[in-house]
Structures are given as structure tokens and as C-alpha cells.
Structure 1
């Protein structure tokens, strides 16, 4: 560019020198017709070249360093020129409306989805994708999340209505025959307890104490005294033990009438609980107290910590990445692409945010240009303009000299012959 500029300057200087030399060289031949005509042409060319040199130079600096009025136009009008450039950019070339119209012609969602689909399996994208996920996982502050989860769990449990779930629970007890299983469990425990040798002596001792403490008069007192002399703790305990064991065995029989009666009684009691407001109130109070005293934050923190560490370690597993995570993303993309409504929503969302960004930052375009231009001193700015348009400006000087020469020939010719 500098070579082109210097070449143009040399050409302009040469054209001006040619006119000056021609004017001087034709001075001895003023007596001849052609001498007069040529001298007039070179004179006019010299005047035209000097005038255009003055005009071109006056745009950038004072000609010959002399502060002639209305010269050095660019340095003197620097702020106005910069303001004009900024105004032209903001109001004519890069207006908000023109940028929005250009944004509307783009299909961002198609390009973004195609780019993701194309680059998804590249090693670089997978590595960056894994790094981003790991970074986000490490940034999760579990100590802040655990109390929130605890609070939400407690709120959810407090909102549970006992009246809705207790009848369902009772129905499940009957459907799954938990009442019969509970009865069989109690009978088994009684059977194991009654079968022990120690139980026999305990029962016998309790029976003897009860007989001795019975208050009776006359014949009844004599009969009780005689009975206590005939039996001891072991005998009485054995009798009671056998009675209990036989009773347990009879209740274990599914067809035993007493068992059926007892189960019906238990079933009716359970059904009555469904409408017992006192039971509901007691259970509700018990639930509230239990939830208030429950402190699961530590366990939640431990669970989330293990889950976080496990998730980070899983990302390093190529099988998880290639067989689970990437196929999941691909399937999600394919489903998303098949849904025009979602694509349109994404497109509208992207364009809306870009348009908002343009609206909020449109003035910064002019400020950016202004800041960059203000960084340049006058000499640098002049050199930039001259380097970009200097060739054409120097041709103005050449054209001025040539046109002046031709016009001078015509004028002298007209003056001579007419």
C-alpha cells in the first residue's frame, strides 16, 4: 500500500515537473505560433497541477507548513468527521432495524442443532463436554442444598393428610391379610413363651399366690385350703401352661370359630378407625412431632456427596459416555428436531435475546468506533486515510495538470486564431 502511495505521489510530482519544465523550455520560442500555443498549454497545466496539489494537500495539512485559512481541514474538523462517521454507522448503515431484519433472515436453531449433531462425537467436544459437567458438579455446594432438600421433604410430609392415607392403609391390611399375620405372630410368640419351663413355674407361682389371697368364709375357705394342699406351683403351672398351649393351637386353626370371631372383631375395629376423628388427631399430632424431631440433613449430605463423587467418576468411564450419555443426547436432539413447535420456540427465544442485546448495546458500536479513532493521533489518522485513498487523491493532481495543459492549448489556440 505504501509502495502504491509513493508511486502515485511520484507520478503526480513528475506530471507537475513536466509542466514546469515545458513552460520554461518554451519561453525562448514565444515568437513562433507553436511556441506560444505550447507555452500556454504548459502554463495552464502548471497552474492546474499546482491548484490541485494545493487542494489535495489542504485536506490533510497546511501547504508548505504555512497556516493558510481553510487548509488542514481533516485535523481541524477531526471531531466533526468522527461524529459524522459514528452518526452514519448508527443511523444509516447499522441501524437497529437493519440489524433486526438481518437477524430475522438467519435460522439459528438449524445451524446450532446441526453443529451439535456434527461435532458431538469429536474427541475435543466430548472432552470439553465432560470438563464442563465435572466443573458444574464440583461447583455444587451440597452443604447449601441439603437443608433445602430437608425443608422440602418436611413440608411435603406435613402436607400429607392422614385422613386420605389411613383408610387406604387399613384396606391394604385387610386385602393383604396383615391382621391374620399379626394374629399368627402373636400366637407364635405366646406359644414360645408358654412352652418355656420357667413360664410354667411363673404361672404356678402366680396361681398359688392368687389362691392364697382369695378371701372366702366357711366351706369355700376350707375347700380352697384343701386344694392348695393337694397341688403345688409345678402342678398348677403345668395345668395353666397346657391350657394356654391348647388355646393357642385352637386359635391357629383357620376354621376355628373363635379365631374367625376374633378376626371379625379385629376387622370391625379397623374399619371403625377410618371414621374416628380422635385417632386422626392423635396420628396427625404424632406425625408433626415426629417430623419436627427428625433431622435428616446429615444423611442427605452424605448421600448427595456420594452421588456427586459417583457422577464425577462415571464421566471418566468411556462406556458410560459412548453407550449412555451421547446416545441420550442424540435421541433428545432427534426428538427435538421432530417437534416444529419446540424449534420455533427456540428460534424465537434466540432471536429475541439477540435483538434485546442489540437494543441494549447498539450505542456501543459508535462508542467503539469513537474510542478506536480517538486512540489515533492526527498524523496516524492522516496517514491511514492517505494510504487508503491517497492513490486516487494523487491522481487528482495528475488529472489537474493534464487537463490544465489540454485546456490551455484550446484556450491559446482560440485566442491566437480568433
Structure 2
């Protein structure tokens, strides 16, 4: 609709209509002049008929030409209006039958132009995959696509950066957090992790981290000091620090040794303990209504807290600023990614027949589904548009588009009628 209101579009349409009006006027003038010429020729032939038999043939030609011209003028005029303004029955056919014509045209297009088979056949002949690859083969087209993607993203980002959009997003997130059954979904997630033994891998990483930390000198010094405080009674014999270091080393060695056993033994008691505790937690999360209610209440309290709003707004603003900063750069990361993806798609469409077939099939199926879904609406829309036209506008538009051909019908009718008149006169002359 924006294009139809564009001044350049309107100016171009006016120029096209003026050109069509000129051609129609010229064709109508030629047809009318032939009718007048036939009339003049008939009068002249009647005046000189007694001088030579050939004038009889000329008069017969002119008389039949006038009849043909008038008959075709009446037929052509009757399509669009009443001839000479006289409301003769079965004239002004198009304006009188506008509603029926609109329904018929809408139904015709719906049936014969928007069938799934025809659309699919046209798409197969069009070969979208080949056209896409061909279009993307020009670097300027790739840059054009990337630039349009960047402009579209910038526009969408400007919409998202509005305060009311941010508030709506925060409200939707809060409502979603409140409606979600966090306990049940948490139990399902833990069940998946348990089934895939991911928790045991996590346990191994935790043990590695703790073991590495215990092996660090500062940690051992800290442990020695803590043990020395507990062995303060040895201070009297100056053995508290030595005893602390000894006990700390033994403790670290014992813990490290046990960690190694856990890593090496899949059925270590600690692993079974973790399995059992997680199984129990999963059952509670999925079946303990009290726990589920407490979890829901905690999430709702978190979502309603002012800190949640401040944190969300800060994250939103940071995201918008980061995206704005990228989208407004000539060397935007988004632009580069779109261009790179377009080039990869082009190359793959050229060498991968399965991908090309998938693209063609997807476009064909999507178009067929759309046609099946909206075919009736499209036909009804066309019919409604025609019904909504003013009678004079519809008549003028139709006449401007087919009127020149109809005026040639008048011209041909004049000439063919004249020839038939000559043949009839010749037959009559031979029978005398």
C-alpha cells in the first residue's frame, strides 16, 4: 500500500493512463472516420449509379460497410454504456453485471490460477534454488542482502528499545516465571542428567578442583595453622606447629587418596550416595506438593523484588547498547555474518543437489499450503475489490485496457461488411 501512495508511482500511473486514453481516442477516431467515409462513399455511389455498373458495386460495399460499422459500434458501445444514452435492454452490460462479473472473475482466478497443482508446477519451473544461487553469485547482491538485513535489524532494535516494549518483556518474563512449574522441570532436568551420568562427571571435576586446591601451599599452611590451634597444649614443648604440619599433610594425603579411589571406582560408596540423594531429590521435586509450592512462592518473590526489575532493565539496556553499537557500524558483525552465510548458501546450492531439492520442495510445499489456505480469501478479495469500484471507474479502466482492440473490431467490421456487400451484389448481378 505504501508503494501505491508513492508520488512517483502515482505520477507513472497517470502517465500510463494518459497514454492509454490517447491510443483509445486515436483508434476510435479511425473507426468513426471509416464509418463517415462509408457514408460519403455511399452517397456518391448513389449519385453516379446510373453512369456505370461499377458504382453499384461501390455502393453495395459502402452500404454494407455502414451496416457493419454501425452494428459493431452498437455492440462495442453496449458493453460499456447505453448507446446514445438510450436504455435499450441488454446494453451497458458490464456496469449492469458488475457484481456477477466480480464474483465470476474472483472464482475464475481462484479455480484456474490458484490451484495447488498449478502453483507447484510454476514453482518447479521457476527452480527457486537455482535462482537463489544465481542471484547470490553477484557480490553486489550479497552486499545488498547484508545491508538490508542490517537495516531491518536496526529497525527492529529501535522498536525493541522503546520503554513500553521493555516493560512488556519484563512483565511477560515475570508471568512466565510465575506460571512455570520450576520444581517439576528441575526434577526432569536432574533426571536427564542422572540418566546420562552427567552428575558423576560433575563430581569428578569437583573432586579434581578440591584436590588441586588442597595441594596448594597456602591451603596447607592454613590447615597447619588450624590444626596447630587445636593442638595448643603442645605449645609448651614447641611441637604445636610441627604437629600441625604433620597432621595437615596426613589429612591432605588421606583426602587426596580417597578422591583418587572415588575417581577409579565407578561403584564407590560416595558415588552411590550421590545417586541416592539425587534420586530422592528428583522424587521430591516431582511429587512433593509442599516443596513445589515453596519453590513457586520463592520464584514469585524473586520476580516481584525491585532488584529483579533493576537487574532486568540493566541487562536489557546493556544488550540494546551492544546491539546498537554493532548494527550502526559499516563493518557490522551482523552484516558480515549475513554476507558470509549468503555466500555459503550459494556455494552449497551449487554443489549439493539434496540441499537444492530441499529448498525447492520447501518453497513448493509452503506455497501449496498457502494457496490451499488462502485461495478462497484471495478470490473473495478480488471480487470485493471489483464490487467496490465505482461503475464509471471500472468501465473506464476496462475500456482503456481492451478498448483499442474493440475499436479494431469496428474497423474490421466496416471493411469485412463492405466486402460481404460486394460479394452479395456480385451474386445478385450474376443472377440477373
Q: What TM bracket, shorter-length normalisation? A: 0.5 to 0.7
Partner of 1:249: 245
Answer whether contact 2:226 2:244 (CA < 8 A) is retained: no
3-state SS, counterpart of residue 358 of structure 1: helix
8 A Cα contact 1:45 1:403, kept in partner: yes
Contact residue 187 and residue 252 of structure 1 kept, 8 A: yes
| 1:57 is aligned to 2:80 | no
- Please say if residues 58 and 72 of structure 1, whose CA atoms lie closer than 8 Å, have aligned partners that are also in contact: no
Alignment partner of 2:272: what SS?
A: coil
In structure 1, the partner of 2:319 is 307
Matches within 5 A, 1:312-327: 312-321=324-333, 326-327=339-340
**Aligned-partner Cα distance in 2 for 1:103–1:184:** 73
Q: 1:32-181 maps to which residues of 2 (within 5 A)?
A: 35=52, 37=53, 40-41=56-57, 44-45=60-61, 47-59=63-75, 60-61=77-78, 72=91, 74=93, 78-79=97-98, 82=101, 86=105, 89-90=108-109, 94=113, 96=115, 97-118=117-138, 124-139=144-159, 143=170, 158=187, 159-160=189-190, 164=197, 168=201, 171-172=204-205, 178=211, 181=214
1:391 aligns with 2:408: yes
1:326, distance to aligned residue in structure 2 (A): 2.8
Distance 1:267 1:109, change over 3 A: closer
Structure 2 CA distance for aligned equivalents of residues 355 and 380 of structure 1: 35
Q: Deviations over 1:355-383 (max 9, x none)?
A: 33334236745863784485343974785
Query: Which sections of structure 1, spanning at least 5 residues, go unmatched?
Result: 204-235
Contact 1:90 1:366 in 2 (8 A): no
Aligned 1:231-310 pairs, distance under 5 A: 238-239=235-236, 242-251=238-247, 271-276=268-273, 280=277, 284=281, 295=302, 299=311, 302-303=314-315, 305-310=317-322
Q: 1 CA distance for matches of 2:99 and 2:425?
A: 39
How far has the Cα of 1:109 moved from its partner? 2.2
TM-score, structure 1 as length reference: 0.64
SS at match of 1:160: helix
Match of 1:375 in 2: 390
C-alpha RMSD over aligned residues: 5.1
Change (3 A) 1:394 1:90: same
Give the match's secondary structure for 1:317: coil
Contact (CA 8 Å) 1:42, 1:405: kept in 2 or not?
A: yes
Q: Give TM-score, length-normalised by structure 2.
A: 0.62
Cα–Cα, structure 1 residues 177 and 191, in superposed 2: closer, same or farther, change >3 Å?
closer
| Structure of larger gyration radius | 1
Change over 3 Å in CA distance of 1:19–1:382 after alignment to 2? farther
Task: Structure 2: give runs of 5+ residues left out of the alignment.
Answer: 1-22, 161-165, 286-290
